[in-house]
Structure 1
Amino acid sequence: MEFITLITLLCFFLSGTTIAIGQPASIAFSETEGVLKLGGTGQAPTIVIDSKDWAGVTRAGNDLANDFGLVTGTKGKVVSSTSGLSGAVVIIAGTRVPSTLYGSTSPIIDSLVSAGKFDASNIKGKWESFSSALVEKPVEGVDRALILAGSDKRGTIYAIYDVSEQIGVSPWYWWADVPPKKHPALYALPGTKTQGPPSIKYRGLFINDEQPALTNWVKSNYGGVYNSQFHAKVFELLLRLRANYFWPAMWASKFHVDDSKNGPLAEEMGIVMGTSHTEPMARADKEKVKPWDWKSNQNNLKKYMQDGATRSKNWEVVWTLGMRGDGDTGSPTLDAKSLVDVFTAQQSILKSTLGVSSLNAVPQMWCVYKEVGGYYQAGMKVPEDITILWSDDNSGNIQRLPIPSEANRIGNAGVYFHLDYVGSLLK
């Protein structure tokens, strides 16, 4: 399945509405033929996640164990080995496909596949996909278990949170105080469920720090700093909603600088980091060098961009390319020709820093926002491997979408849409 659109990005200034995820059911609340009881009052599952799997998978597993407690009153637990499981109710979760970018292989899942007990062929090589099934005698001492296998680390994480939502825990349980739905018993249904890959490759939000809403709330709850404790809650929400992409707040904060744990936390949890339309090369607006002018300060700007690439080179990133003026404004000296020069410099930095000869497989994005659209409309040639992120006009009207001649670009396209907008409108 090819991706219809590469990126979709929502800009949140205030809290959004709750939208449930449509999905086939693999969980039931009453006993029928062939089901496996997973939990109830005084009973909860042991969730097995191999220690070699991605840390974010274990983190999601612990959330699921806690979610059983929210629904039934009895929490589950997470273990890293299949030994000593005799008599336990068992869920085994793990990542099937090894990848240097997306997570480690679970030897436990591999052994089930090798033994012919679990079929993972329907997710092999697919992006963010998962399969789940009830398996007979998966490991010694266990008669039946629910198996959750992901094609990559987020596939496994989504499989885990899929169970959380089905048992009655809303993705918005924390942010919107949606109460968990209580159930006296929870059952896994027989059969195989497969989900993914998504039609949109990168899906996320730009959670801006406008006054007074979010800024004042962060002051009250996190000492005014968008730190790793704050971002852990944001990232969990994204993953529970099966999003994967994030632009951090920019007006009074610096994601990587304000808390050195922010970047590693995003990588651990499986969030692909980006930066807003006015913040190139994984650097914050408040880190910018002065003067912020390509024409007069090109060497210092190149170092600024190089430092951003160096800092984030080992993490999953959609690299924001291009350049605007300082502080979310148009540049008085940039034009279509000089912006192409900016692209050339940025792509050269990425090639040397990432050690690649081609950027076709490196996610890069240029946001056609406000005055930037005029450069493209004037005939500016954008490298084929850069995703063009089309924007709305800040009033909910998409300015433009890809035309047929742009449909086969390597970088494809995306949409940046504001749920709420504070500021001057596009003229």
Structure 2
Amino acid sequence: MTVLSRLEDRMPGRVTVLFLLAAALFAVFMQEAFALGAGSYVTSKYEPGGFVLSASGKSAPLCVSSEDYWGVAHAVKDLQSDIEKVTGAKPELSTDGLASAREMVIAGTIGKSPLIDKLISNKKLDVREIDGKWESFIIKVVTKPFPGVDRALVIVGSDKRGTIYGIYDVSEKIGVSPWHWWADVPPRHLSSLYVKSGTFEEGPPSVKYRGIFLNDEWPDLTNWMIHTYGYAKQSVNPPVPPDVANYGHLFYERVFDLLLRLKADYLWPAMWNNAFNEDDTLNPRLANEYGIVMGTSHQEPMI
């Protein structure tokens, strides 16, 4: 079965195909814009000074502070899963401080992660190039970051989305496509993963808000929604009438995941016969947790 036939099984119809093509073009634009002049910092062969992300059936543990944003912790869990998909070796995940290891991955946001802030105050990590900037991140191998730790791969963001983008950037570099779910793109399989020595910096983006809108979702996408997720639960307050397709949090989680992996930050939701905030009260909450900025109408005047 081809990728196209699987797409047609999931989201049949020409309108949906056009939607996917438009999104694909957006993805290419975004990836080119962010990757301009930059090569991959991840390799499957060891280089002197490189950080061992995964080798010999073992992956470096991941550390994220419970005090950081929910979206950051969620992205780290995705990275944990992505590393396992590529290497078969699932890394341990620590949310209560450092892992019990000599080498580890530390991800966090300036001003939200005690681990990151301590690295900065101890002059182990220089973040002056991204501090206070919009959606920026640094990926760097740090030697002797803490007592008892030989080296750490540090992913530090200037803000919530900056950190999330940095985490998902690693996921993409190891071989997990942003389209892993929507287009059934399988991850590549490698037994070893190494991060090159050096400092890898990205941001701020030249366009502050970047996103997509769901347009002409009836009938193709809406019929797929009904088939996949059913109807939204009827309600008086908030008002949800019968026979409304369930454009709820299970669907939007998938959309948010794609947007963040593509380094987008804005979404105009389905609005043909739907109300984002009312159809599922988890929708706006999750948008905030993920870090997605929500618009209302994509017609007049795309506010």
Q: Which residue in the other structure is 1:197 paired with?
A: 204
CA shift, 1:76, in A, is: 2.1
- State the alpha-carbon separation in 2 of the partners of residues 131 and 71 from structure 1: 23
1:175 aligned residue (182, 204, 208): 182
Q: Which residue in the other structure is 2:97 paired with?
A: 82
Q: Which residue in the other structure is 1:112 paired with?
A: 119
Q: Which residue in the other structure is 2:70 paired with?
A: 55
1:26 aligned residue (21, 41, 56): 41
Query: Structure 1 235/256 Cα, relative in aligned 2: closer, same or farther at 3 Å?
Result: same
Describe how 1:350-361 pairs up with structure 2 within 5 A: none
- State the alpha-carbon separation in 2 of the partners of residues 273 and 237 from structure 1: 15
Describe how 1:200-279 pairs up with structure 2 within 5 A: 200-208=207-215, 210-223=217-230, 224-278=245-299
- State the alpha-carbon separation in 1 of the partners of residues 202 and 162 from structure 2: 9
- State the alpha-carbon separation in 2 of the partners of residues 41 and 14 from structure 1: 42
Structure 1 residue ranges without an equivalent (≥5) = 1-10, 99-104, 279-323, 325-365, 368-388, 390-427
8 Å CA contact retained: 1:45, 1:65: no
CA shift, 1:29, in A, is: 1.1
CA shift, 1:106, in A, is: 1.0
Matched AA of 2:91: G
1:160 aligned residue (160, 167, 174): 167
8 Å CA contact retained: 2:176, 2:187: yes
8 Å CA contact retained: 2:52, 2:60: no
Q: Which residue in the other structure is 2:82 paired with?
A: 67
State the identity %.
47
Matched AA of 2:108: G
- State the alpha-carbon separation in 2 of the partners of residues 83 and 267 from structure 1: 28
Matched AA of 2:171: S
CA shift, 1:178, in A, is: 0.8
Q: Which residue in the other structure is 2:137 paired with?
A: 130
TM-score of the two chains, using structure 1 as the length reference: 0.59
Q: CA RMSD in A?
A: 1.9
Tell me, what secondary structure is at the counterpart of 1:15?
A: helix
Tell me, what secondary structure is at the counterpart of 2:209?
A: strand
CA shift, 1:137, in A, is: 1.3
CA shift, 1:81, in A, is: 2.9
Matched AA of 2:95: S
Tell me, what secondary structure is at the counterpart of 1:76?
A: coil
CA shift, 1:36, in A, is: 1.2
CA shift, 1:254, in A, is: 1.1
8 Å CA contact retained: 2:61, 2:99: no
CA shift, 1:264, in A, is: 0.4
Query: Structure 1 197/12 Cα, relative in aligned 2: closer, same or farther at 3 Å?
Result: farther
8 Å CA contact retained: 2:62, 2:99: no
Query: Structure 1 250/118 Cα, relative in aligned 2: closer, same or farther at 3 Å?
Result: same
1:38 aligned residue (53, 60, 66): 53
Q: How many residues align?
A: 264
- State the alpha-carbon separation in 1 of the partners of residues 99 and 163 from structure 2: 24
8 Å CA contact retained: 1:131, 1:193: yes
- State the alpha-carbon separation in 2 of the partners of residues 152 and 200 from structure 1: 16
- State the alpha-carbon separation in 2 of the partners of residues 196 and 74 from structure 1: 31
1:191-225 residue CA offsets vs partner (Å, 9 max, x unmatched): 00110000000000112352332111111111130
- State the alpha-carbon separation in 1 of the partners of residues 106 and 119 from structure 2: 10
- State the alpha-carbon separation in 1 of the partners of residues 130 and 265 from structure 2: 18
1:127-148 residue CA offsets vs partner (Å, 9 max, x unmatched): 0000111001112322111001
- State the alpha-carbon separation in 1 of the partners of residues 17 and 271 from structure 2: 13
TM-score of the two chains, using structure 2 as the length reference: 0.82
1:35-79 residue CA offsets vs partner (Å, 9 max, x unmatched): 111014521221111111100000000000000011111222321
Q: Which moved more, 1:18-27 or 1:269-278?
A: 18-27
Matched AA of 1:243: A
